[in-house]
Amino acid sequence: MNEDFVREIEATLIYVRNAFIIPECDPSRVTEAIAVDEMRHMNWLADLIVKRGGKPSMGHKELDFGGDDLYGQLKKQIALETEGIKIYKYQIGSIDDQEVVGVLKHILDEEKRHRKEFRMRLEKIIQ
């Protein structure tokens, strides 16, 4: 769960930075709003970790923002959501803790929505 927590930190930081860099209003606002969702995911996971006697790990790796153009950033953001979806699906199928599974299912639904939002913005710029 600490690995999930670190991935959520990375997504939060990448989206906050990109929301400032992206000059186009709509994708910037969407990225900012989703950054807030990712921070909520951090909080939910931290709560599960602490309740089970652990401590949230803050040791994230060097961040890859997807470059300085909107295309690269959206591609990167979609890839992050896809990675999260894959990992959460696997964990939901293999973890035997109803509370954890309930939270992960909620997060999974949101990651799917995030990927859809980013894909819609990517389609707009490659038309």
Which chain residues interact with Fe ion by CB under 5 A? 8, 38, 41, 81, 111, 114
Q: Is 102 helix (H, G, I), strand (E, B) or coil?
A: helix
Cβ proximity to Fe ion, 33 vs 50, nearer residue? 33
Cβ proximity to Fe ion, 76 vs 114, nearer residue? 114
Q: Going by C-beta distance under 8 Å and a sequence separation of 6 or more, which residues neighbour residue 109? A: none
Least distance (Å) from Fe ion to the CB of residue 114?
Answer: 4
Least distance (Å) from Fe ion to the CB of residue 39?
Answer: 9
Q: 79: which 2 tokens? A: 């890839």
> Can you tell me the distance from the alpha carbon of 8 to that of 3, in angstroms, rounded to the nearest whole number?
9
Cβ proximity to Fe ion, 114 vs 121, nearer residue? 114
